[in-house]
């Protein structure tokens, strides 16, 4: 594996992140492994399903919180874990459906509401639906019914035809019939309230990942190396280093689509 001179001495070769409040360290992670693969095969968190494996069905959705370099705060949103490279989760806090609730710990209000509305048949899509709704309510506790519907445009259910699922999720809306369920208190939404702000934080502040990641990551397996430069200088230096050789490289951002280098320069 080539050593990047700019990052040598300050980089790390292990990933550190949190899943459902537990801290994990993964030494020399495999750059070809996805987050969904790791959750299912390494941690037995099989509530996160994988079907299409290409970002089209939503059954693999998990919620993530990570430092926002733009303002020093944090960003929270849902991602398709089937597309999310494991190597990209350094410093993240990840919430899977197991982190929301279950049979032993007690079901989360969103899980209960989905069941009350008969929104689950085989249940394969349900974890992704639940986590997606959790992501929306964490950002906007009282969405409109239209906003709920829009938020589910990346989800597919093969069984129920969506109506009972959307009915269940829309029952959390500000403009829904209160007799059908009504909005949810933020205290009921999550156990993870920021001790400082009192807002939903998913443990990020508690776990100390507020602020920006300052360390570069450098790891590799099976002939593939992964770098996470943290400054533009590091990025340009890496590009220079690899453009002169015969190596192929790609810049990974959301990883929802791929284009070749010519496309990027057009």
Q: List residues near ligand FES by CB under 6 A.
A: 50-53, 55-60, 80, 82, 120-126, 157-160
Q: Closest separation between CB of residue 224 and ligand FES, Å?
A: 21
* Least Cβ distance, residue 259 to ligand FES (angstroms): 20
The answer to whether the beta carbons of residues 80 and 257 sit under 8 Å apart is no
- Nearby residues of 123 by Cβ (< 8 Å), 6 or more positions away: none
**Nearest distance from residue 244's CB to ligand FES, in Å?**
36
Nearer to ligand FES (CB atom), residue 153 or residue 263: 153
Pick the closer one to ligand FES by CB: 55 or 91: 55
Smallest gap from Cβ 118 to ligand FES, in A, equals 10
- Write down the least CB distance from residue 32 to ligand FES, Å: 16
The answer to whether residues 19 and 192 touch, using CB atoms and an 8 Å cutoff, is no
Q: Smaller CB distance to ligand FES: residue 56 or 73?
A: 56
User: For 67, what's the count of Cα atoms within 13 Å in the CB-facing half-sphere?
Assistant: 16
The smaller minimum CB distance to ligand FES, of residues 49 and 66, is found at 49
Q: Shortest Cβ distance from residue 150 to ligand FES (Å)?
A: 17
Comparing CB distances to ligand FES, the nearer of 120 and 234 is: 120
User: 218: Cβ–Cβ under 8 A, 6 or more apart, which residues?
Assistant: 1, 3, 4, 7, 11, 12, 13, 225, 226, 227, 228
Residue corresponding to tokens 């970002």: 55
Q: DSSP character for 167?
A: H
Closer of 87 and 157 to ligand FES (Cβ): 157
Q: How many CB atoms lie within 10 A of CB 203?
A: 22
In angstroms, the CA 185 to CA 142 distance is 10
Q: Which is nearer to ligand FES, 47 or 67 (CB)?
A: 47
CB atoms under 10 Å from CB of 141, counted, come to 16
> In whole angstroms, how close is the CB of 78 to ligand FES at the nearest point?
11
Which CA distances in Å does 253 have to 10, 86, 177, 188?
22, 13, 40, 34
């Amino acid at each position: 594996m080539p050593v990047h001179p700019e990052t040598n001495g300050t980089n790390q070769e292990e990933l550190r992140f949190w899943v459902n409040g537990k801290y994990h360290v993964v030494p020399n992670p495999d750059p070809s492994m996805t987050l969904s693969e790791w959750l299912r095969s390494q941690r037995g968190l099989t509530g996160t399903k994988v079907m299409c494996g290409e970002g089209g069905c939503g059954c693999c959705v998990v919620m993530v919180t990570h430092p926002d370099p733009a303002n020093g705060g944090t960003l929270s949103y849902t991602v398709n874990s089937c597309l999310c490279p494991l190597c990209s989760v350094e410093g993240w806090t990840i919430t899977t459906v197991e982190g929301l609730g279950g049979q032993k710990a007690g079901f989360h209000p969103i899980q209960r509401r989905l069941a009350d509305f008969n929104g689950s048949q085989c249940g394969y899509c349900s974890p992704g639906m639940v986590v997606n709704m959790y992501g929306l309510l964490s950002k906007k506790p009282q969405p409109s019914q239209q906003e709920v519907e829009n938020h589910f445009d990346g989800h597919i259910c093969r069984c129920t035809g969506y109506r009972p699922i959307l009915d269940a999720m829309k029952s959390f809306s500000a403009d829904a019939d209160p007799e059908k369920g009504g909005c949810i208190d933020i205290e009921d939404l999550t156990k993870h309230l920021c001790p400082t702000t009192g807002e939903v934080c998913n443990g990020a502040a508690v776990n100390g990942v507020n602020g920006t990641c300052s360390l570069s990551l450098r790891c590799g397996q099976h002939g593939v190396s992964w770098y996470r430069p943290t400054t533009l200088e590091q990025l340009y230096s890496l590009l220079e280093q690899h453009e002169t050789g015969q190596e192929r490289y790609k810049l990974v951002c959301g990883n929802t689509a791929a284009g070749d280098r010519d496309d990027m320069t057009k």
